[in-house]
Amino acid sequence: MKNSIEVKNVSKKYKDFELKNISFNVPEGCIVGLIGENGAGKTTTIKSILNIINVTGEIKVLGKNNKQNEKEIKEEIGVVLDDSFLSEYLNAKNINSIMKDFYSTWDEKIYIEYLKKFNLPMDKLIKDFSSGMKMKLKIITAISHKPKLLILDEPTSGLDPIVRNEILDIFRKFIKEDEKRSILISTHITTDLEHISDYIVFIENGRILFDLPTSELLENYGIVKCSKEDFEKINRNDYIKYRKEKYQYEVLTENKYSFRNKYNIQTIDKPSIEEIMLFYIKGEK
């Protein structure tokens, strides 16, 4: 399988934060979710891929070195960053005119169809849009030149569930239209990723803790609920972290089936991605 993004041994050191030798891929035709707490390194990772910041290591985007081929790469990708957009004193019609000159592949028809679908006015100034309207406009603008790859930093943050679902539908359609298209989406709203992602990359304090298929993560991981007596019988190598609750212990295992067979404990819940993330961050070893 080809990779749309390859990140290999990438590091970046700041005064109070360090990206520590991270490596992961975004396979062609897949949606990859990059998760972690605020300040864990998600935005630094995305900015390194886009060559906004200088890092050590090797990064390839669409098979090309991201430093040597930056101009070519940016023609073929769509990007949505929290702090990047045109002036708020423009309207959607102005953006169409600007982008037609900027991208040779700009598709005005697709752009206008999306504006109509999401009830975004052509003549209203962006500064008068709601946060949901602004984000939808950013994403529509990012995909209307028919890129091969979308890179998105917190695209659904602060939005209500209805708007978030509309945006997830845009991503599904984007991938469905061309099996070679890919998306890298950074978010701390992990419930969104359970519905659309193929892989999850979990970054914590500048390190990657795991890079796994979403289906494998949700199917194999389990939260074991047991008494103190049962907990004390569990081998430390058989769980990741635990939490001590008022009346019981909760243990995160990466293989609930072998755990159940070994310890004959039946109460094992299927965790959400958010619960898995919280165990890694807040749980005890």
pLDDT(206) > 90: yes
Q: Which residues of 144-161 are buried (b: 16+ CB within 10 A; e: fewer)?
A: bbbbbbbbbbbbbeebee
CATH match of 3-216 with 3.40.50.300: yes
- End-to-end alpha carbon distance in the chain: 36
Mean predicted confidence (pLDDT) in 108-136: 92
Q: What is the DSSP letter of 91?
A: B
Alpha carbon distances (Å) from 41 to 24, 38, 208, 268: 14, 8, 9, 32
Alpha carbon distances (Å) from 156 to 1, 112, 132, 173: 29, 22, 8, 17
In this prediction, residue 264 carries a pLDDT of: 83
pLDDT(83) > 80: no
pLDDT(245) > 70: yes
Half-sphere exposure for 12 (CA within 13 Å, toward CB): 25
In this prediction, residue 216 carries a pLDDT of: 93
In this prediction, residue 155 carries a pLDDT of: 87
Nearest to 122 by CA among 103, 147, 145, 140: 140
In this prediction, residue 164 carries a pLDDT of: 86
Lowest mean pLDDT among 25-34, 215-224, 262-271, 273-282: 262-271
Mean predicted confidence (pLDDT) in 182-199: 91
According to CATH, where is 3.40.50.300 located in the chain?
3-216
In the chain, % of residues over pLDDT 70 = 99
Mean predicted confidence (pLDDT) in 264-273: 87
Distance CA 149, CA 127 (A): 28
Tokens of 260: 């159940």
pLDDT band for position 113 (50/70/90)?
very high
In this prediction, residue 253 carries a pLDDT of: 95
Mean predicted confidence (pLDDT) in 147-167: 88
Q: Is the whole-model pTM more than 0.75?
A: yes
In this prediction, residue 84 carries a pLDDT of: 64
pLDDT(85) > 80: no
In this prediction, residue 188 carries a pLDDT of: 82
pLDDT(209) > 90: yes
pLDDT(86) > 80: no
What is the DSSP pairing of strand 268-269 with strand 222-226? antiparallel
Distance CA 215, CA 194 (A): 9
